[in-house]
Amino acid sequence: MRGVTLDIFAMFKNVLALVITVFHVASSVNAHGYVQEITLGSTKYTGYLPYSDPYYNPPPSRIVRKVPGNGPVEDLSLIDVQCNGWTAGGFTTAPAPVFGTVAAGSQVKLNWTAWPDSHKGPLVTYMARAPSDITKWNPGTSAVWFKVAQAGKDSAGKWAATDGLYATNSVYTFTIPPKLKAGQYIIRHESIALHSAYSYPGVQIYPSCIQVEVTGSGTALPTSFVSFPGAYTASTPGIVYDVYTNTGNYPIPGPAVWTGGN
C-alpha cells in the first residue's frame, strides 16, 4: 500500500516536471527572436532557421551562420556574443557554407521574427572584412569589426527594436557603405534588449552573422576596429541602462558609425 502511494507521488512529480519543461520551452519560443530573411539589393535569402534547418539532411545552405535558437547571449566575455553561440550548451557557431552578393551602396533588409514588446533597445550593425575565404573564416577575438549602422531611441522615446520594427513589418534596413572596398565581409547585426539591463549581467544580445560578397569599385576601408567579445563590457555606455525610468538619451554601445569616406 505504502509502495503504491510512493509510486503515484513519483509519477505526479514526473508529470509536473514535464509540464514545467513544456511550458518553459513554449514560452521561450514565444519570446526572443532572430533574423529569418535577408534581402541583399533585390535578392531574398532565407536566414538560418534554428527550429527546422538542423532537422534536414543535408541541411539547407544558408548565408547566415548557425544560431542555437532564439535566445539571447548575456555573458559579454564569451565568443557567443560574436555570431550567437551557446558555449554553456556545447554550441559554437561556425562559418556558413555560402554567401550572398550585394553591391556597395545598396540596401540590406533584415526581417526579424516577431519581436516582443518588452524587449526595448537598439539595433546595431557591424561588418568585418574576411582576409580569406569567408566560408572558412572565424574572426575569433581579433579586432576586425567596424560599425556601419545603428538605431536606438529617438527624441519621441521610440525604440528601434520594438516601435521601429513594428512600423516596418519587422524589417530593418541599412545601407552598405557606398565606397566600401569590394570583397567578402561578415555583417554582424544585433538587437540589444534592455528589459533587464538595469544591472549587469542583464542586457540581452541577439547577434546574427550574415556572409556577403560586396561588389563595386570603392576603395575605402576603415582604420579602427573592435573585437567581439571585447567591444562591450559592463562599463560600456548603454550596456547598463534602466529602460523603465531613464527618459533621457540612450547611448548606443560601441564605436561611432564608420561613414566610409562618404
Ligand X SMILES: *[C@@H]1O[C@H](CO)[C@@H](O)[C@H](O)[C@H]1NC(C)=O
Pick what 74 binds: Cu ion, ligand X, none; C-beta below 5 to 8 Å, kind-dependent.
none
Dump strand ranges (E) for the chain. 35-40, 43-46, 100-103, 107-112, 123-129, 145-151, 171-175, 183-193, 204-215
Nearest residue to Cu ion, by Cβ distance, number only: 32
Cβ of residue 192: shortest distance to ligand X, in angstroms? 21
SS3 36: strand
- Applying CB under 5 A, which of residues 20, 31, 40, 93 lies at the interface with Cu ion? 31
Adjacent-strand bridge partners of 187: 127, 210
Binding region for Cu ion (CB under 5 A) out of 26-34, 58-66, 158-166, 250-258: 26-34
Q: Is 171 in the site for ligand X (CB under 6 A)?
A: yes
111 counts as binding ligand X under rule CB under 6 A = yes
Name the minimum Å distance from CB 109 to ligand X: 8
169 binds ligand X (CB under 6 A): yes
Number of residues this chain uses to bind ligand X (CB under 6 A): 5
- Cα separation, 176 vs 185, in Å, equals 11
What's the Cα-to-Cα distance from 185 to each of 16, 120, 142, 145, 226, rounded to whole Å? 48, 28, 15, 10, 15
Residue 226 site contact among ligand X, Cu ion, none (CB < 5 to 8 Å, cut-off depends on kind): none
Q: In the chain, what are the helix, strand and coil shares in percent, each to the nearest 5?
A: 20, 30, 55
Q: In the window 5-44, what residues touch ligand X (CB under 6 A)?
A: 36-37
Grid cell in block for residue 131: 582576409
Q: Which is nearer to Cu ion, 69 or 105 (CB)?
A: 69
* 164 DSSP 8-state letter: I
Residues that bind ligand X (CB under 6 A): 36-37, 111, 169, 171
Residues that bind Cu ion (CB under 5 A): 31-32
